Amino acid sequence: MDSMNFDLATTPLRDLNRFLHQEAEAQGIKHVTVLHPDGAHNIAVGLNAPVAVDIEGHAGYYAAGMLKHGEVTIHGNAGTGVAENMMSGKVHVKGFASVSAGASAHGGLLVVDGDTSLRCGISLKGGDIVVGGSVGSFSGFMAQAGRMVICGNAGDALGDSLYEAVIYVRGTIKSLGADARIEEMTESDYQAVGELLAAAGYSYDPHEFKRVASAKSLYHWNADANQEY
């Protein structure tokens, strides 16, 4: 038997996480189902084993936070900071995600079928985020590396203070953040978007997307540039 169920209505969260950290791989468990999450926080944080975790319901804050190895699917909505600081692996949110989705992720793939709230991909450090719906304001804020694909619309201040991360948007952009600008899509952009959409399971046409990247004018302090500090 390579699956297990954990019912958070009767089992402490600590037991679930400890099992995932210390026992799952050794016991050859490949699949864990979490029942009655009911908005609990920190479900499957620090997962570091080749396990597929299915969360049957809505998760609270930091679901799948600091994921390094494994795959987490949330059959519902996710609270603040889903997949925050993810290193690799995959997180899929079927519903919507709250603020700071994928914050500071270094790698891996976060997919959100619904909308995300503000600050999606804040401080992104190399991970990939694909959002089926729209993203709130300040998404991609200070995003340093990685890619974001937004199939819906983007709110205010998209990519404010952007570094090397690239954001692709299919819908409208309410406003761009400081130092963010729209650039021409190249063949490699279309290819990247195509790959990411396929990985997320969406079938949009990459040619419908715009590229948002950093103008790199904030990289050095410069008195004459009237920069906002």
Partner 1 sequence: MCGIVGLLVKTPALRARLGAMLVPMMIGMTERGPDSAGLAVFSTPLVSGHKYSLYSGTASFDWEGLAAQLFAHLRVSAKCEGHGNHAVLITELASAAVRQWLKENFPALHVLSCGRAIDLYKDIGTPGEVAQRYNFGSLQGSHAVGHTRMATESAVTPDRAHPFTAGEDFCLVHNGSLSNPYGLRRKLETEGIHFETDNDTEAACRFLEWRMREGDVLETAIQKGFEELDGFYTFLIGTENKLALVRDPFACKPAIVAETDDYVAIASEFRSLAHLPDVKNAHIYEPNPEEIYVWTA
Partner 2 sequence: MNDNEHILKHIAKEGSAGYDRKIMDYIHNAATHGLYEIRGMGAKRAVPNFDDLVLLGASLSRYPLEGYREKCSTKTILGTRFASKPIELEIPITIAGMSFGALSANVKESLGRAATELGTSTTTGDGGMTAEERQSSKTLVYQCLPSRYGFNPDDVRRADAIEIVIGQGAKPGGGGMLLGQKISPRVAKMRTLPEGIDQRSACRHPDWTGPDDLVIKIQELREMTDWEKPIYVKVGATRTFHDVKLAVHAGADVIVVDGMQGGTAATQTCFIEHVGIPTLAALRQAVDALEDLNMKGKVQLIISGGVRTGADVAKALAMGADAVAIGQGVLYALGCNHDAYTLDGVVHSACNDYEQMGTAAGYCHHCHTGRCPVGITTQDEQLAQRLMPDLGAKRLKNYLKTLNMELTTLARACGKQNVHHLEREDLVAMTIEAAAMARLPLAGTDWIPGYSKF
Q: Which residues bind partner 2 (CB under 8 A)?
A: 13-14, 17-18, 21-22, 41-42, 45-46, 48, 60-62, 65-68, 80-81, 84-85, 87, 99-100, 103-104, 106, 119, 122-123, 125-126, 141-142, 144-145, 161, 163-164, 218-221, 223-224
Cβ closest to partner 1, residue 58 vs residue 125: 58
Closer residue to partner 2 in complex, CB, 17/153 = 17
Q: Minimum distance between the CB of residue 77 and partner 2, rounded to whole angstroms? A: 16
Q: For residues 69 and 49, is the Cβ–Cβ distance under 8 A?
A: yes
Residue 207 DSSP SS3: helix
Give 13 or 150: the residue with its C-beta nearer to partner 2.
13
Which residues contact residue 115 at a Cβ distance below 8 angstroms, ignoring those fewer than 6 apart?
96, 97, 131, 133, 134, 135, 136, 152
Choose between 126 and 206: whose C-beta lies nearer to partner 2.
126
Which phi and psi angles does 17 have, rounded to 5°?
A: -65, -40
Q: Judge whether 23 and 3 are in contact, CB under 8 Å.
A: no
Binding site for partner 1 (CB under 8 A): 38-41, 57-58, 60-61, 77, 79-80, 95-96, 98-99, 117-118, 136-137
Query: CA 195, CA 6: separation in Å to the nearest integer?
Result: 34
